[in-house]
Amino acid sequence: MISRRRSSRKPAQKGSPKWMVTFADLVTLVLVFFILLFSMSQIDMIKFKSIAQSFNTQGVFETNDSIVPGEYPSPKMNKEEVNKNEQSLDQLAKEVQKYLEENKLEDTAAAIRNERGVVLVLQEQIVFSTGDAVVLQEAYPFLEKTGKLLKAMPNLVKVEGHTDNRPIKNSIYPSNWELSSARATSVIRFFIDDIGLEPERFIAVGHGDTRPLVPNTTEENMQKNRRVQIVISDPTYKE
């Protein structure tokens, strides 16, 4: 009886090899990945074009010098409004100067009318103790007088702190920058808390010793340089 050997060869499988299926999945995932990258880049380009177009559009920065509305307004005033503003600033300067003369403060304070508006220059000794930023009670009457005058007008007010060039370093004020800024802020807080003026009208600036009136060569000159300046701004003036 003749026996037949069974063939050990496995029958050929139909369809693609298994490795090709895995490879195809990998290629598909890579393709999807690059499609996502491309779509994201397109979105960024659209955003970039939109931002660039917004900067090219005029009008946004023509009405306000700041993104905060009303922070540095420069309104277009007609002739009547300009005249009224000039008269208000002139009157304020006269009122303050009269107060200084009546109270014999001309040697330590001054009211200056210039293109910036009205600049009230107060030497350190009538507002603060040396190296301190707490408003002295002796300064209350003058600041109250100034605050009442400011209530009658809408002008912005910039308060600037100045020091001499002698360095200061303690736990409160590491340098003259902090001291001058704190003094400007203290005056503003007095106008807001005690007089009831609107906070948005004020700007505090600390110049340290970078804006001396006279050279810091004598004690008398240093005393003049240690000061606070209250600038009642002329809205027609742009720095």
Mean per-residue pLDDT of the chain: 84
Q: Which residue has the higher pLDDT, 38 or 93?
A: 93
55-85 confidence digits (pLDDT tens):
555 444 444 444 444 444 555 677 778 888 8
Could you tell me the residue ranges of all domains in the chain? Answer: 79-233
Kindly state which CATH superfamily the domain 79-233 is placed in. OmpA-like domain (3.30.1330.60)
Write the DSSP assignment of the chain as a string of letters. -PPPPPP-PPPPPPSS-HHHHHHHHHHHHHHHHHHHHHHHHHHHHHHHHHHHHHHHSTTHHHH-SSSSTTSS------HHHHHHHHHHHHHHHHHHHHHHHHTT-TTTEEEEEETTEEEEEEEGGGT--TT--SPPGGGHHHHHHHHHHHHT----EEEEEE--SS---SSS-SSHHHHHHHHHHHHHHHIIIII---GGGEEEEE-TTSS-SS-TTSHHHHHHHSEEEEEEE-TT---
Whether residue 176 is predicted with pLDDT greater than 50 in this model: the reply is yes
85-122 confidence digits (pLDDT tens):
899 999 999 999 999 999 999 999 999 999 999 999 99
